[in-house]
Protein backbone atom coordinates (compact mmCIF):
# COMPACT_ATOMS: atom_id res chain seq x y z
CA UNK A 1 0.00 0.00 0.00
CA UNK A 2 1.89 3.02 -1.29
CA UNK A 3 1.23 6.65 -0.43
CA UNK A 4 0.04 8.80 -3.33
CA UNK A 5 1.48 11.93 -1.72
CA UNK A 6 4.78 12.98 -3.22
CA UNK A 7 7.74 13.29 -0.87
CA UNK A 8 7.56 17.07 -1.28
CA UNK A 9 3.85 17.16 -0.40
CA UNK A 10 4.47 14.89 2.57
CA UNK A 11 7.18 17.21 3.90
CA UNK A 12 5.05 20.31 3.30
CA UNK A 13 2.14 18.90 5.32
CA UNK A 14 4.47 17.80 8.12
CA UNK A 15 6.03 21.28 8.24
CA UNK A 16 2.60 22.66 9.19
CA UNK A 17 2.28 20.24 12.11
CA UNK A 18 5.70 20.19 13.76
CA UNK A 19 8.11 17.26 14.16
CA UNK A 20 5.74 14.59 12.92
CA UNK A 21 5.45 11.60 10.60
CA UNK A 22 2.40 10.62 8.52
CA UNK A 23 1.38 6.96 8.79
CA UNK A 24 -1.02 5.76 6.08
CA UNK A 25 -4.16 4.19 7.59
CA UNK A 26 -6.71 4.11 4.78
CA UNK A 27 -6.49 4.10 1.00
CA UNK A 28 -9.86 4.05 -0.74
CA UNK A 29 -8.64 2.32 -3.91
CA UNK A 30 -7.39 -0.53 -1.72
CA UNK A 31 -9.93 -0.70 1.11
CA UNK A 32 -13.00 0.65 -0.66
CA UNK A 33 -14.77 3.98 -1.26
CA UNK A 34 -17.19 3.34 1.61
CA UNK A 35 -17.86 4.84 5.00
CA UNK A 36 -17.61 1.38 6.58
CA UNK A 37 -14.10 0.79 5.19
CA UNK A 38 -12.99 4.27 6.27
CA UNK A 39 -14.30 3.88 9.83
CA UNK A 40 -12.89 0.38 10.19
CA UNK A 41 -9.40 1.64 9.40
CA UNK A 42 -9.46 5.11 10.92
CA UNK A 43 -11.76 5.28 13.96
CA UNK A 44 -10.03 6.08 17.25
CA UNK A 45 -6.86 7.27 15.50
CA UNK A 46 -5.80 10.88 15.98
CA UNK A 47 -4.67 13.36 14.87
CA UNK A 48 -5.27 12.64 11.20
CA UNK A 49 -4.71 14.20 7.80
CA UNK A 50 -7.25 13.28 5.10
CA UNK A 51 -6.32 13.77 1.45
CA UNK A 52 -8.49 13.67 -1.67
CA UNK A 53 -7.30 13.43 -5.28
CA UNK A 54 -9.28 14.09 -8.45
CA UNK A 55 -8.71 13.61 -12.17
CA UNK A 56 -8.06 17.34 -12.60
CA UNK A 57 -4.85 16.91 -10.61
CA UNK A 58 -6.00 18.62 -7.41
CA UNK A 59 -4.71 17.38 -4.05
CA UNK A 60 -6.77 18.66 -1.11
CA UNK A 61 -8.12 17.63 2.27
CA UNK A 62 -8.18 18.44 5.96
CA UNK A 63 -6.54 18.02 9.35
CA UNK A 64 -8.17 17.31 12.71
CA UNK A 65 -6.91 16.33 16.15
CA UNK A 66 -10.25 14.64 16.90
CA UNK A 67 -10.54 10.86 16.39
CA UNK A 68 -13.27 9.74 14.00
CA UNK A 69 -16.13 7.56 15.28
CA UNK A 70 -19.68 6.43 14.48
CA UNK A 71 -21.33 8.72 17.05
CA UNK A 72 -23.17 10.89 14.49
CA UNK A 73 -22.16 13.95 16.52
CA UNK A 74 -20.10 17.05 15.79
CA UNK A 75 -16.70 17.36 17.48
CA UNK A 76 -14.93 20.53 18.63
CA UNK A 77 -11.49 21.25 17.19
CA UNK A 78 -10.01 24.74 17.18
CA UNK A 79 -6.90 23.54 15.32
CA UNK A 80 -8.68 21.88 12.39
CA UNK A 81 -8.08 23.20 8.90
CA UNK A 82 -8.71 22.36 5.27
CA UNK A 83 -6.00 22.68 2.65
CA UNK A 84 -5.16 22.39 -1.03
CA UNK A 85 -1.93 22.35 -2.99
CA UNK A 86 -1.07 24.98 -5.55
CA UNK A 87 2.00 23.46 -7.15
CA UNK A 88 4.23 22.60 -4.18
CA UNK A 89 2.69 25.32 -2.00
CA UNK A 90 0.06 24.42 0.62
CA UNK A 91 -2.89 26.80 1.08
CA UNK A 92 -4.70 26.52 4.44
CA UNK A 93 -8.33 27.32 5.31
CA UNK A 94 -8.71 27.37 9.13
CA UNK A 95 -11.91 26.18 10.78
CA UNK A 96 -14.43 29.02 11.23
CA UNK A 97 -16.78 27.22 13.64
CA UNK A 98 -14.60 25.08 15.97
CA UNK A 99 -17.63 23.49 17.64
CA UNK A 100 -18.60 21.93 14.29
CA UNK A 101 -15.11 21.20 12.98
CA UNK A 102 -15.75 17.53 12.18
CA UNK A 103 -18.78 15.27 12.17
CA UNK A 104 -19.00 11.52 12.68
CA UNK A 105 -21.14 10.04 9.89
CA UNK A 106 -21.35 6.27 9.31
CA UNK A 107 -21.80 6.23 5.52
CA UNK A 108 -19.14 8.84 4.73
CA UNK A 109 -15.41 9.25 4.91
CA UNK A 110 -13.64 12.27 6.48
CA UNK A 111 -16.40 14.79 7.26
CA UNK A 112 -15.28 18.37 7.94
CA UNK A 113 -18.30 20.24 9.26
CA UNK A 114 -20.73 20.55 6.39
CA UNK A 115 -18.04 22.14 4.23
CA UNK A 116 -16.03 19.24 2.83
CA UNK A 117 -16.72 15.51 2.82
CA UNK A 118 -14.49 12.93 1.13
CA UNK A 119 -16.20 9.67 0.07
CA UNK A 120 -19.66 11.14 0.53
CA UNK A 121 -22.56 8.70 0.90
CA UNK A 122 -20.11 5.79 0.45
CA UNK A 123 -19.35 6.95 -3.09
CA UNK A 124 -16.14 8.18 -4.73
CA UNK A 125 -17.36 11.78 -4.66
CA UNK A 126 -16.77 14.98 -2.73
CA UNK A 127 -19.39 17.07 -0.93
CA UNK A 128 -18.33 20.71 -1.09
CA UNK A 129 -20.19 23.54 0.68
CA UNK A 130 -17.94 26.40 1.83
CA UNK A 131 -19.29 29.06 4.13
CA UNK A 132 -20.22 28.83 7.81
CA UNK A 133 -17.82 26.05 8.94
CA UNK A 134 -14.84 26.56 6.62
CA UNK A 135 -14.52 29.21 3.94
CA UNK A 136 -12.66 28.41 0.72
CA UNK A 137 -12.97 29.10 -3.03
CA UNK A 138 -14.14 25.80 -4.60
CA UNK A 139 -12.24 26.46 -7.83
CA UNK A 140 -9.02 26.90 -5.84
CA UNK A 141 -9.71 23.94 -3.53
CA UNK A 142 -10.61 21.23 -6.06
CA UNK A 143 -11.25 22.92 -9.41
CA UNK A 144 -15.00 22.14 -9.04
CA UNK A 145 -14.22 18.51 -9.86
CA UNK A 146 -16.14 16.52 -7.25
CA UNK A 147 -15.21 13.03 -8.44
CA UNK A 148 -12.51 11.31 -6.38
CA UNK A 149 -9.83 9.16 -7.94
CA UNK A 150 -8.32 8.45 -4.53
CA UNK A 151 -8.80 9.22 -0.86
CA UNK A 152 -6.16 8.62 1.82
CA UNK A 153 -6.15 9.11 5.57
CA UNK A 154 -2.91 9.38 7.55
CA UNK A 155 -2.38 9.28 11.28
CA UNK A 156 -0.08 12.04 12.51
CA UNK A 157 2.62 10.67 14.80
CA UNK A 158 5.01 12.83 16.77
CA UNK A 159 8.72 12.15 16.37
CA UNK A 160 10.87 13.06 19.35
CA UNK A 161 14.59 12.91 19.96
CA UNK A 162 15.92 11.02 22.98
CA UNK A 163 18.45 12.61 25.33
CA UNK A 164 20.85 9.72 24.86
CA UNK A 165 21.23 7.65 21.69
CA UNK A 166 20.01 4.05 22.06
CA UNK A 167 22.97 2.84 20.01
CA UNK A 168 26.43 4.35 19.95
CA UNK A 169 27.88 5.42 16.61
CA UNK A 170 31.08 7.39 16.03
CA UNK A 171 30.36 9.93 13.29
CA UNK A 172 33.94 10.71 12.30
CA UNK A 173 36.00 10.34 9.09
CA UNK A 174 38.39 8.06 11.00
CA UNK A 175 35.53 5.65 11.76
CA UNK A 176 34.52 5.54 8.11
CA UNK A 177 38.13 4.76 7.15
CA UNK A 178 38.37 2.07 9.86
CA UNK A 179 35.20 0.34 8.62
CA UNK A 180 36.37 0.41 5.00
CA UNK A 181 39.76 -1.06 5.88
CA UNK A 182 38.16 -3.74 8.05
CA UNK A 183 35.86 -4.86 5.21
CA UNK A 184 38.73 -4.87 2.70
CA UNK A 185 40.84 -7.01 5.06
CA UNK A 186 38.07 -9.49 5.87
CA UNK A 187 38.77 -13.13 5.12
CA UNK A 188 36.30 -16.00 5.69
CA UNK A 189 37.51 -18.43 8.35
CA UNK A 190 37.03 -21.38 5.97
CA UNK A 191 39.88 -21.72 3.46
CA UNK A 192 37.65 -23.01 0.64
CA UNK A 193 35.54 -19.84 0.70
CA UNK A 194 36.88 -16.64 -0.85
CA UNK A 195 33.83 -14.40 -0.40
CA UNK A 196 30.96 -14.28 2.09
CA UNK A 197 27.66 -14.61 0.17
CA UNK A 198 24.84 -12.49 1.57
CA UNK A 199 21.27 -13.07 0.32
CA UNK A 200 18.95 -10.03 0.30
CA UNK A 201 15.22 -10.80 0.63
CA UNK A 202 12.47 -8.19 0.76
CA UNK A 203 9.24 -6.91 -0.68
CA UNK A 204 9.02 -4.97 -3.94
CA UNK A 205 10.55 -1.50 -3.55
CA UNK A 206 12.05 -2.15 -0.11
CA UNK A 207 15.54 -1.22 -1.32
CA UNK A 208 17.46 -4.48 -1.93
CA UNK A 209 19.03 -3.39 -5.21
CA UNK A 210 19.49 0.13 -3.86
CA UNK A 211 21.49 -1.27 -0.94
CA UNK A 212 23.98 -2.92 -3.29
CA UNK A 213 24.20 0.29 -5.34
CA UNK A 214 24.83 2.24 -2.15
CA UNK A 215 27.61 -0.09 -0.93
CA UNK A 216 29.13 -0.07 -4.40
CA UNK A 217 29.00 3.73 -4.35
CA UNK A 218 30.90 3.93 -1.07
CA UNK A 219 33.79 1.85 -2.44
CA UNK A 220 33.75 3.49 -5.88
CA UNK A 221 33.93 6.92 -4.32
CA UNK A 222 30.85 8.27 -6.09
CA UNK A 223 27.15 7.44 -6.42
CA UNK A 224 26.56 4.57 -8.87
CA UNK A 225 23.58 2.54 -10.08
CA UNK A 226 24.71 -0.82 -11.42
CA UNK A 227 21.70 -2.79 -10.10
CA UNK A 228 18.29 -1.85 -11.46
CA UNK A 229 16.39 -0.02 -8.73
CA UNK A 230 13.38 2.23 -8.46
CA UNK A 231 9.73 2.39 -7.47
CA UNK A 232 7.32 -0.07 -9.04
CA UNK A 233 4.35 -2.20 -8.05
CA UNK A 234 6.11 -5.32 -9.37
CA UNK A 235 9.70 -6.45 -8.95
CA UNK A 236 12.27 -4.73 -11.16
CA UNK A 237 14.63 -7.61 -10.36
CA UNK A 238 13.53 -10.65 -12.37
CA UNK A 239 16.77 -12.64 -12.21
CA UNK A 240 18.89 -14.09 -9.44
CA UNK A 241 21.87 -11.74 -9.43
CA UNK A 242 25.16 -11.93 -7.59
CA UNK A 243 27.02 -8.66 -7.19
CA UNK A 244 30.67 -8.33 -6.21
CA UNK A 245 32.01 -5.01 -4.97
CA UNK A 246 35.33 -3.58 -6.13
CA UNK A 247 37.54 -1.24 -4.17
CA UNK A 248 37.53 1.54 -6.74
CA UNK A 249 37.02 1.29 -10.48
CA UNK A 250 40.10 -0.85 -11.14
CA UNK A 251 40.56 -2.08 -7.59
CA UNK A 252 40.55 -5.49 -5.98
CA UNK A 253 37.27 -7.36 -5.56
CA UNK A 254 36.09 -7.28 -1.94
CA UNK A 255 35.45 -10.48 0.05
CA UNK A 256 31.67 -10.12 -0.05
CA UNK A 257 28.99 -10.98 -2.61
CA UNK A 258 25.49 -9.52 -2.36
CA UNK A 259 22.84 -11.78 -3.89
CA UNK A 260 19.64 -10.14 -5.10
CA UNK A 261 16.31 -11.87 -5.74
CA UNK A 262 12.87 -10.97 -7.05
CA UNK A 263 10.87 -8.86 -4.64
CA UNK A 264 8.35 -10.60 -2.39
CA UNK A 265 4.70 -9.93 -3.22
CA UNK A 266 1.67 -10.78 -1.12
CA UNK A 267 -0.27 -12.51 -3.92
CA UNK A 268 0.26 -16.18 -4.73
CA UNK A 269 2.03 -16.69 -8.05
CA UNK A 270 3.63 -13.24 -7.91
CA UNK A 271 7.14 -12.20 -6.95
CA UNK A 272 9.67 -14.58 -5.40
CA UNK A 273 8.35 -18.12 -4.93
CA UNK A 274 9.08 -19.26 -1.36
CA UNK A 275 9.80 -22.74 -2.73
CA UNK A 276 12.83 -21.29 -4.53
CA UNK A 277 14.43 -20.28 -1.21
CA UNK A 278 16.00 -23.65 -0.35
CA UNK A 279 17.71 -24.08 -3.78
CA UNK A 280 19.00 -20.50 -3.47
CA UNK A 281 20.36 -21.12 0.04
CA UNK A 282 22.03 -24.35 -1.05
CA UNK A 283 23.79 -22.58 -3.92
CA UNK A 284 22.01 -24.33 -6.80
CA UNK A 285 21.04 -21.12 -8.64
CA UNK A 286 23.41 -19.71 -11.23
CA UNK A 287 23.93 -15.99 -11.67
CA UNK A 288 21.33 -14.47 -14.05
CA UNK A 289 18.81 -17.29 -13.41
CA UNK A 290 15.46 -16.03 -14.71
CA UNK A 291 12.73 -16.35 -12.07
CA UNK A 292 9.31 -17.70 -12.97
CA UNK A 293 6.82 -16.67 -10.24
CA UNK A 294 4.27 -19.24 -11.44
CA UNK A 295 6.69 -22.20 -11.33
CA UNK A 296 9.34 -23.05 -8.72
CA UNK A 297 12.93 -23.80 -9.65
CA UNK A 298 13.68 -27.36 -10.81
CA UNK A 299 16.93 -29.31 -11.19
CA UNK A 300 16.58 -29.34 -14.98
CA UNK A 301 16.79 -25.54 -15.23
CA UNK A 302 19.58 -24.14 -17.40
CA UNK A 303 22.76 -23.68 -15.36
CA UNK A 304 21.39 -25.46 -12.27
CA UNK A 305 24.30 -26.48 -9.99
CA UNK A 306 23.66 -30.07 -8.93
CA UNK A 307 26.63 -30.25 -6.56
CA UNK A 308 27.30 -26.69 -5.30
CA UNK A 309 30.42 -26.01 -3.26
CA UNK A 310 30.45 -24.14 0.05
CA UNK A 311 31.63 -21.10 -1.90
CA UNK A 312 28.31 -21.16 -3.83
CA UNK A 313 26.04 -21.39 -0.78
CA UNK A 314 24.44 -18.53 1.15
CA UNK A 315 26.26 -17.68 4.37
CA UNK A 316 23.93 -15.01 5.79
CA UNK A 317 20.35 -13.95 4.98
CA UNK A 318 19.31 -10.29 5.24
CA UNK A 319 15.65 -9.24 5.16
CA UNK A 320 15.22 -5.74 3.72
CA UNK A 321 12.22 -3.90 5.22
CA UNK A 322 10.88 -0.45 4.30
CA UNK A 323 10.57 1.59 7.53
CA UNK A 324 7.60 3.48 6.05
CA UNK A 325 5.55 0.31 5.51
CA UNK A 326 6.14 -1.74 8.64
CA UNK A 327 2.82 -0.85 10.27
CA UNK A 328 0.84 -1.57 7.11
CA UNK A 329 2.64 -4.76 6.09
CA UNK A 330 0.08 -7.06 4.47
CA UNK A 331 -0.74 -10.21 6.45
CA UNK A 332 -0.01 -12.45 3.47
CA UNK A 333 3.40 -10.85 3.04
CA UNK A 334 4.16 -11.31 6.73
CA UNK A 335 3.14 -14.97 6.41
CA UNK A 336 5.51 -15.43 3.45
CA UNK A 337 8.37 -13.96 5.48
CA UNK A 338 7.55 -16.31 8.35
CA UNK A 339 7.68 -19.32 6.00
CA UNK A 340 11.04 -18.17 4.62
CA UNK A 341 12.44 -17.60 8.12
CA UNK A 342 11.51 -21.15 9.13
CA UNK A 343 13.27 -22.53 6.04
CA UNK A 344 16.39 -20.45 6.75
CA UNK A 345 16.38 -21.52 10.42
CA UNK A 346 16.31 -25.18 9.38
CA UNK A 347 19.41 -24.53 7.27
CA UNK A 348 21.20 -22.97 10.25
CA UNK A 349 21.96 -19.76 8.38
CA UNK A 350 22.29 -16.51 10.43
CA UNK A 351 19.71 -13.81 9.73
CA UNK A 352 19.67 -10.01 9.98
CA UNK A 353 17.14 -7.31 9.11
CA UNK A 354 18.02 -4.16 7.18
CA UNK A 355 15.50 -1.35 7.80
CA UNK A 356 15.66 1.09 4.88
CA UNK A 357 14.21 4.54 4.08
CA UNK A 358 14.65 5.79 7.64
CA UNK A 359 14.91 9.36 6.35
CA UNK A 360 11.45 9.08 4.78
CA UNK A 361 10.05 7.56 7.97
CA UNK A 362 11.33 10.21 10.38
CA UNK A 363 11.68 13.98 9.71
CA UNK A 364 14.49 14.41 12.26
CA UNK A 365 16.55 11.73 10.48
CA UNK A 366 15.77 13.38 7.13
CA UNK A 367 17.18 16.59 8.58
CA UNK A 368 20.29 14.89 9.95
CA UNK A 369 21.00 11.15 9.60
CA UNK A 370 23.01 11.32 12.84
CA UNK A 371 19.66 11.57 14.67
CA UNK A 372 18.88 7.98 13.70
CA UNK A 373 19.69 6.56 17.15
CA UNK A 374 18.16 9.51 18.97
CA UNK A 375 14.83 9.13 17.22
CA UNK A 376 12.14 7.55 19.39
CA UNK A 377 10.14 6.86 16.23
CA UNK A 378 12.96 4.85 14.60
CA UNK A 379 13.44 2.96 17.87
CA UNK A 380 9.73 2.15 17.85
CA UNK A 381 9.96 0.93 14.25
CA UNK A 382 12.95 -1.27 15.09
CA UNK A 383 10.97 -2.76 17.97
CA UNK A 384 7.99 -3.41 15.68
CA UNK A 385 10.19 -5.12 13.08
CA UNK A 386 11.70 -7.25 15.85
CA UNK A 387 8.25 -8.26 17.12
CA UNK A 388 6.68 -8.95 13.72
CA UNK A 389 9.59 -10.89 12.23
CA UNK A 390 10.63 -12.61 15.43
CA UNK A 391 14.26 -11.45 15.45
CA UNK A 392 16.25 -9.90 18.33
CA UNK A 393 16.49 -6.11 18.42
CA UNK A 394 20.26 -6.31 17.96
CA UNK A 395 19.72 -7.89 14.53
CA UNK A 396 17.69 -4.98 13.14
CA UNK A 397 19.94 -2.42 11.46
CA UNK A 398 18.53 0.88 10.12
CA UNK A 399 20.25 2.38 7.07
CA UNK A 400 19.79 5.10 4.50
CA UNK A 401 20.44 4.09 0.89
CA UNK A 402 21.58 6.54 -1.77
CA UNK A 403 18.46 7.22 -3.85
CA UNK A 404 18.29 10.88 -4.82
CA UNK A 405 21.76 12.13 -3.82
CA UNK A 406 24.45 12.85 -6.40
CA UNK A 407 27.31 12.97 -3.88
CA UNK A 408 28.37 10.68 -1.05
CA UNK A 409 27.70 11.59 2.57
CA UNK A 410 30.08 10.48 5.32
CA UNK A 411 27.31 9.73 7.84
CA UNK A 412 25.31 7.63 5.37
CA UNK A 413 28.52 5.77 4.53
CA UNK A 414 29.10 4.95 8.20
CA UNK A 415 25.61 3.46 8.54
CA UNK A 416 26.00 1.41 5.36
CA UNK A 417 29.48 0.17 6.25
CA UNK A 418 28.34 -0.75 9.76
CA UNK A 419 25.57 -2.86 8.21
CA UNK A 420 28.08 -4.68 5.97
CA UNK A 421 30.36 -5.28 8.97
CA UNK A 422 27.49 -6.94 10.84
CA UNK A 423 26.73 -9.13 7.82
CA UNK A 424 30.34 -10.33 7.71
CA UNK A 425 30.31 -11.04 11.44
CA UNK A 426 27.18 -13.15 11.05
CA UNK A 427 28.68 -14.96 8.07
CA UNK A 428 31.60 -15.79 10.38
CA UNK A 429 29.08 -17.31 12.80
CA UNK A 430 27.97 -19.61 9.97
CA UNK A 431 31.55 -20.63 9.18
CA UNK A 432 32.30 -21.17 12.89
CA UNK A 433 29.29 -23.47 13.21
CA UNK A 434 30.49 -25.49 10.20
CA UNK A 435 33.96 -25.79 11.73
CA UNK A 436 32.47 -26.97 15.04
CA UNK A 437 30.39 -29.59 13.23
CA UNK A 438 33.46 -30.76 11.29
CA UNK A 439 35.56 -30.96 14.46
CA UNK A 440 32.81 -32.89 16.23
CA UNK A 441 32.63 -35.40 13.35
CA UNK A 442 36.41 -35.88 13.38
CA UNK A 443 36.39 -36.46 17.16
CA UNK A 444 33.71 -39.17 16.83
CA UNK A 445 35.74 -40.91 14.12
Specify the DSSP element, H or E, that contains 246.
strand 239-246
pTM of the entire predicted model: 0.70
Q: Is the pLDDT of residue 293 over 70?
A: no
> Which of the two residues, 427 and 270, has the higher pLDDT score?
427
What span, in angstroms and rounded, lies between the C-alpha atoms of 281 and 275?
11
Sign of CA dihedral 2, 38, 108, 117: negative
Report d(CA 4, CA 11) in Å as an integer: 13
Place 410 in a pLDDT band, splitting at 50, 70 and 90: very high
User: Which pLDDT band, with edges at 50, 70 and 90, does 355 fall under?
Assistant: very high
Q: Please write the tens of the pLDDT for every residue from 129-152.
A: 999 899 999 999 999 999 999 999
Report the pLDDT value the prediction gives residue 306, as an integer from 0 to 100. 85
What is the pLDDT confidence band of residue 42, given thresholds at 50, 70 and 90?
A: very high
The 10s digit of each residue's pLDDT in 162-220 is 778 999 999 999 999 999 999 999 999 888 899 999 999 988 888 898 999 999 999 99
Kindly give, in sequence order, each residue whose CB lies less than 8 Å from that of residue 209, ignoring residues fewer than 6 positions away.
227, 228, 229, 236, 237, 260
Q: How far apart are CA 351 and CA 41, in angstroms?
A: 33
d(CA 78, CA 97): 8
User: Which of these ranges, 43-57, 85-99, 328-342, has the smallest mean pLDDT?
Assistant: 328-342
Query: With the C-alpha atoms ordered 415, 418, 422, 427, is the resulting torsion angle positive or negative?
Result: positive
How far, in Å, CA of 154 to CA of 209, rounded? Answer: 28
**pLDDT for the residue numbered 313:** 93
What's the mean per-residue pLDDT of the chain? Answer: 88
Domains of the chain: which residue ranges?
7-158, 173-444
Note whether 70 and 35 are within 8 A (CB).
Answer: no
pLDDT class for 420, splitting at 50, 70, 90? very high
For position 15, what pLDDT does the model report?
86
Superfamily of domain 173-444: P-loop containing nucleotide triphosphate hydrolases (3.40.50.300)
**Residues 130, 102: contact at Cβ < 8 Å?**
no
Helix (H, G, I), strand (E, B) or coil at 61: strand
Q: Quick one: average pLDDT of 75-79? A: 95
The Cα diameter of the chain in Å comes to 90
pLDDT-derived band at 268, boundaries 50, 70, 90:
low
Average the pLDDT over 210-235 and give the result: 77
Amino acid sequence: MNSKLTRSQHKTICSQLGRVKLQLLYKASTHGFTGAAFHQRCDNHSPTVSVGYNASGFVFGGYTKQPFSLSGQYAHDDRAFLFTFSGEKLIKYPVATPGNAVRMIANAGPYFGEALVLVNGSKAVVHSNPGQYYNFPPAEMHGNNLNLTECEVYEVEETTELEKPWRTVIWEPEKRHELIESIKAYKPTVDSVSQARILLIGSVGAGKSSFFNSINSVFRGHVTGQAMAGSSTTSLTTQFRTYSVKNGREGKTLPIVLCDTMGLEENIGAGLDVDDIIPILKGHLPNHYQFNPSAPLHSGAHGYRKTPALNDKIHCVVYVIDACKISIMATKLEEKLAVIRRKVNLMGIPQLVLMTKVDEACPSVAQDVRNIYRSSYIKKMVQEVSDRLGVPLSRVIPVKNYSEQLELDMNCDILLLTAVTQMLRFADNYFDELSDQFSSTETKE
